[in-house]
Structure 1
Amino acid sequence: MHPVVKEGDHSKECVDAMNALMECYKTRNVVNFLNPCTDKKKLLDICLDNEYETRYAQNQKEAEKVYPAFHQLKKLREEQEKKSKENRKLSAEEKAKILEREGNKV
């Protein structure tokens, strides 16, 4: 179950979904082993996931403004990783060619 939520932490839709789930758990405690609240739980999970993605995108945009050098470094590292993966792939292909020349197939 989700912890107690302060006002303003989540959107109205998510708070409504949380309240509906809590109410479902309170009223159906006898038959909880049949999972009657699963649909409400799934809706809440979807709502919280959407909020997380929205918050993450906003934080990334703000961070790009505040820390431009950090994001340039991050892009540079990603490019270096991509190049090193390509180099590893090429070296694996070269190894396969060498093994084929020697008579061993991969």
Structure 2
Amino acid sequence: MTTTGTTEPQTTANPYGTPNPYAAAPARTLSIMSFALGLASIVFSWTFLAPIAGLVLGILALGREPQGRTFAIWGIVLNAVMLAGILISLLIAVVGFGVGLAFLPIHWAIPNL
């Protein structure tokens, strides 16, 4: 039994440089959920709770997931558009209600007019 005198450790690395298919993927869960909630809230007309949750998830994803920055920004934009649409429609409804009340014929309810 002869030894050559070299003790090189056995490596298990792939000599051809192909990526490991079992390596962990970058975490983008919050940003993808924000994008999905924003898209679903516009497509399915979800009004209040889903856009708020998506907006919060998008803001959290900006700080925690640098790999999912694009999804997080799109999620924030879509959820903000949906929330702005809700707020504008509520404002129009309140103004319309006030104008409608202003033109009611209530002179019969006030005596001595």
Q: Under TM normalisation by the shorter chain, which class is it?
A: 0.3 to 0.5
Higher helix share: 1
TM-score (norm 1): 0.40
TM-score (norm 2): 0.38
> Greater relative contact order (Cα 8 A, min sep 6): structure 1 or 2?
2
Larger Rg: 2
